[in-house]
Amino acid sequence: MKLMLAKTSQKFFTLCCQSVMIVCAFVLANALRYDGAFPSGYSTALIALFLPLVLIKLSSFTLMHLLSSWWRYVSIHDLISLVKANLLGSLLFAAYLSYWVNTTIQLPISILLMDGLICFMIMSGARVSVRLVHEHSQVANKTISNGTERILIVGAGAAGQSIAREIRQNPHQNRMVIGFVDQDEKRVKQRFEGVPVLASIKKLKELLQAQPVNLVILANPALCHKELRRIVMLCQSCGIKSKILPNVDEILNGNVAVRHIRDVKLEDLLGRPPVRLDVKNIRNYLENKRVLVTGAAGSIGQEICHQVAGFGVSSLVLFDNAETPLFQIERNLREKFPELEIIPCLSDIRSAIKVDSVFACYSPEVVFHAAAYKHVPMSEHNPISAIENNTLGTRTLVNAARQFGVDHFVMVSTDKAVNPTNIMGASKRAAEIYAQALYNQIETTVVTVRFGNVLGSNGSVVPIFREQIKKGGPVTVTDSEATRFFMTIPEAVQLVLQAGSMGRGGEIFLLNMGEQIKIVHLAEELIRLSGMAPYQDIDIEFTGLRPGEKLHEELLLASEGVKPTTHEKICVANSITHNPYEIDKWFDQLAEACQSMNEKRVMSIIKTLVPEYHHEQNGHISRPETTSTSYIKQKVVRIPLNAVRTA
């Protein structure tokens, strides 16, 4: 109750102050016009205009939301609104004098113009004065505080200035920006938001050694990853915390604030440029469509669901066999997209009956197939399960898409499908072959998207490293020379959606993964980001490649070749087609072998389907003969990328 009374009193006081300012501006404008000597009877008539003038101008201020704004936070936007409000008030007052009032005096236009100008000057001056007094008192209070966190901002641009402004306006945070450093040496010794640019980035080390700094905030989106890494390592060597402001694209509505500042992540140091999306094409094949996502509770599947929901789909079917993760993704999506129809389906792609039932019930128009067993060692120990899920499960889904008239079917594949050395890669390559073999036999546009490792996905190397670091080490790396392609989860999914909009059927799209990264370098960066030194605080042990693992991954078969697309980060492998009837026959035999648990027969059929597959036997890699007599390899023919599909 007391708080409400205080707020009411404050509003009433503000209203009275602005009313007095309006009257003073009007009187001053008249006094200037007549040099302070009013004509006879003029003062009495002038006083009679005070009330309508105040009511009209206060109404115009209300329309511009100026009566409820805080003067201590006045901005350029508020001053522009103040100009508009004064102009509107003067026009309305002039109309009032012309059409609704018979007065004994005639106000010249010059008085109305001066009144509007003087009123703006008084109003804006009062607001700016309040802000200056408020901020000066905050700075004074911070200066005498011993526990103030001293902050240095890298980047004196709009983002850095916004952070400095917010910190200055929030004294309760007990923080103070002592200065900026910037790439542009011309800015040195200039002041922004009252904060000086102390040095260029090149002299950051000397500055950190000379100035007591508690936190460095990286607020320059133009920093390359090498410079970013140098600054982070420099801060670590000086024992100073470092945080980063994400790219403005990551911040809703583009409003930069202190709450967006976060710790530097591994993704920031990899230096991958942002993905450019053709949003129009993606929206064209997703908007108002019924979409089904397999593996919806997995790392990739969850991100697909979140991004797809943002394109205005009419319904979203979450297909997964993991109950708790499925419950969690459903709950998250309902909170974020309350208007979207979300259907969780606790089911399994290995069951044709269940898959057909879901497709018949919900009639999906677009399917994203992200369900897969992905762990190489686990698949090596359970080859039949991997084949049933990754290969035969894909066959079941493609057949359902054909039967129930799905428009687009996008399969997520992996670089491990290229010249596979493990059963996981071979199972995904066999799935690719089936999707390619049937594309010209059905109306559904079936495409495959092939990419490498995803940073931060469940069970991937980064979470494992973090857990090992948390326990104090050692961090285990298979080989000092082992490399992998890496992408962030959002980046990979964005390109999956983009590739889905580009496909006409049968293509295997390859995502530009950039350069391969040494896994040991990844481990070293994570240890440094944890505030420790590799090989000193945390040791790194090399365990040797596990069965089925490669030293270096590939994205392209030697027989495929590659062509560019309209997107700089997506290319397409030259199409290779197979006899669909023969492929179907081999898949029938594969299903029978899996059902009878005949592992030897399963492996034999996989080697026939995927002749480039080679696996380890007693520590040696077994490779197929270069003159393979398998029917599939003999029947491989090239077709042009723009070949016309046949029904």
d(CA 492, CA 150) in angstroms, rounded, equals: 38
CA distance readout (Å), 161 to 192, 193, 220, 240: 7, 6, 11, 21
In this predicted structure, what is the pLDDT of residue 494? Answer: 80
CA angle, 278 then 282 then 288, to 5°: 145
Instruction: Give yes or no: residues 153 and 73 share one domain.
Output: no
131 backbone dihedrals φ, ψ, rounded to 5°? -65, -45
Instruction: Give yes or no: residues 39 and 134 share one domain.
Output: yes
β partners of residue 451: 414
Q: Residue 627: exposed, middle, or buried by beta-carbon count in 10 A (0-12, 13-18, 19+)?
A: exposed
In this predicted structure, what is the pLDDT of residue 349? Answer: 94
Instruction: Give yes or no: residues 407 and 493 share one domain.
Output: yes
Instruction: Give yes or no: residues 114 and 185 share one domain.
Output: no
Band (pLDDT 50/70/90 cuts) for residue 638 is: very low
Band (pLDDT 50/70/90 cuts) for residue 165 is: confident
Residues 153-177: what's their mean pLDDT?
77
145-169 CB burial, b ≥16 within 10 A, e <16: eeebbbbbbbbbbebbbbbbbbbbe
Instruction: Give yes or no: residues 244 and 293 share one domain.
Output: no
Please write the tens of the pLDDT for every residue from 150-161. 888 888 877 787
Choosing from 233, 264, 295, the residue where a domain stops is: 264
Residues 401-416: what's their mean pLDDT?
89
Most distant CA atoms of the chain, gap in Å = 117
Which helix (H) or strand (E) segment holds residue 328: the answer is: helix 323-336
* pLDDT(294) > 90: yes
Let me know: does 198 contact 211? Beta carbons within 8 Å: yes
Inside any domain, residue 245: yes
Inside any domain, residue 464: no
Maximum mean pLDDT: which of 38-47, 281-290, 363-372: 363-372
Instruction: Give yes or no: residues 127 and 182 share one domain.
Output: no
* pLDDT(330) > 90: yes
Inside any domain, residue 467: no
Choosing from 125, 140, 155, the residue where a domain stops is: 140
**Global pTM value:** 0.59
* pLDDT(39) > 80: no
* pLDDT(506) > 70: yes
Inside any domain, residue 381: yes
Instruction: Give yes or no: residues 173 and 31 share one domain.
Output: no
Is the C-alpha dihedral spanning 597, 599, 600, 605 positive or negative? positive
Cβ neighbour number for residue 68 with a 10 Å cutoff: 9
* pLDDT(253) > 60: no
Inside any domain, residue 9: no
In this predicted structure, what is the pLDDT of residue 635? Answer: 33
Written as six digits, the tokens of 67 are 């009566």
Residues 478-491: what's their mean pLDDT?
76
DSSP for residue 97 = I
Cβ neighbour number for residue 322 with a 10 Å cutoff: 15
- What CATH number has the domain bearing residue 605? 3.40.50.720
Better-predicted residue by pLDDT, 604 or 126: 604
Inside any domain, residue 481: no
* pLDDT(211) > 70: yes
How many domains does the chain contain in total? Answer: 3
Instruction: Give yes or no: residues 345 and 391 share one domain.
Output: yes
* pLDDT(275) > 50: yes
Instruction: Give yes or no: residues 381 and 422 share one domain.
Output: yes
Let me know: does 421 contact 549? Beta carbons within 8 Å: yes
Inside any domain, residue 539: no
* pLDDT(250) > 60: no
Query: How does the average pLDDT of the chain come out, rounded?
Result: 77
Closest Cα partner for 201 from 191, 214, 188? Answer: 188
* 159-163, 544-548, 591-595, range with the lowest pLDDT: 544-548
Its domain, for residue 213, covers 147-264
d(CA 308, CA 497) in angstroms, rounded, equals: 8
Maximum mean pLDDT: which of 69-78, 141-150, 274-283, 332-341: 332-341
Residues 294-317: what's their mean pLDDT?
91
Inside any domain, residue 10: no
d(CA 138, CA 132) in angstroms, rounded, equals: 10
Maximum mean pLDDT: which of 71-75, 80-84, 247-251: 80-84
Instruction: Give yes or no: residues 366 and 302 share one domain.
Output: yes
Instruction: Give yes or no: residues 253 and 191 share one domain.
Output: yes
In this predicted structure, what is the pLDDT of residue 6? Answer: 53
Instruction: Give yes or no: residues 496 and 601 share one domain.
Output: yes
Band (pLDDT 50/70/90 cuts) for residue 385 is: very high
Long-range contacts of 37-44 (CB under 8 A, 24+ apart): 39/105, 41/104, 41/105, 42/105
Let me know: does 167 contact 258? Beta carbons within 8 Å: yes
Choosing from 264, 293, 308, the residue where a domain stops is: 264
In this predicted structure, what is the pLDDT of residue 327? Answer: 94
CA distance readout (Å), 587 to 266, 313, 335, 428: 42, 34, 42, 13
Maximum mean pLDDT: which of 48-62, 123-137, 238-252, 507-521: 48-62
